[in-house]
Amino acid sequence: MRDRFGRNRPAGSTARRPRSAHAPFVFAFAAFCFTLACAGTSRAGSARRDPNMISAAEIEEMRLAGVRDLHELVNRQRPAWLRIRSERSFQLQTTILVYVNETLLGSVDALRGYPLMSINSLRYLDAPQAMLLPGGGSYHVEGAIVIRTGGRAADTAAPRVSPGLDLSDPDS
């Protein structure tokens, strides 16, 4: 008589293959791995951060970690803000502008040496939003980084862009 695998079994034997003693542990381990894979990579208790905003809490955390200036902060927290995707104009220089509240400060080089003190937040504006800010007429604007300083959001006016764009500080 042959079993289902084609091996010879003694006649009259109805005994099945004994189960492995480790089978429950293997099943539990597989279930655990499946649960971890479905859980994703987010850290427990961490809130989702806004890719276009660096909050006062993030700024303070980086200051305590030894970050010296805004350029280093942005380079660590949101490096995509500093990248120009492509030169889009043959006549105008493509740049990312930096504003302090409503005042044009310059390009991203203005972030070097800018201290982290008294900053409420940083917000990145994409090209269509940044083109509405004053002072960028002689550049092809890729985006803008708006530095919010001073007291509460009501004390410091945000750059006037479009009616649907909210530049208010969420920590205030």
Compare 6 and 57 and report the one with higher pLDDT.
57
Mean pLDDT of the chain: 76
> pLDDT, tens digit, for every residue of 104-142?
999 999 999 999 988 999 999 998 898 888 887 777 888
Express each pLDDT in 62-89 by its tens digit. Answer: 999 999 999 999 999 999 999 887 766 6
Q: Rg of the chain over CA atoms, in angstroms?
A: 29
In whole angstroms, give the CA distance from residue 59 to residue 64: 9
C-alpha 20, offset from chain centre = 47
Q: What is the mean pLDDT of residues 5-16?
A: 66
Q: Which range has the top average pLDDT, 12-21, 22-31, 131-140?
A: 131-140
At 97, give phi and psi (nearest 5°).
-90, 155
Strands (E), the chain: 53-54, 93-100, 103-107, 119-126, 139-149
3-state secondary structure of 115: coil
Q: CA 5 to CA 16: how far, in whole Å?
A: 12
Q: Where are the alpha helices (DSSP H) in 47-123?
A: 56-64, 70-77
Tell me: pLDDT of 10 over 80: no
Higher pLDDT, 23 or 83: 83
User: Packing angle between helix 56-64 and helix 70-77, nearest 10 degrees?
Assistant: 110
Residues with Cβ within 8 Å of residue 92, at least 6 apart in sequence: 138, 139, 140
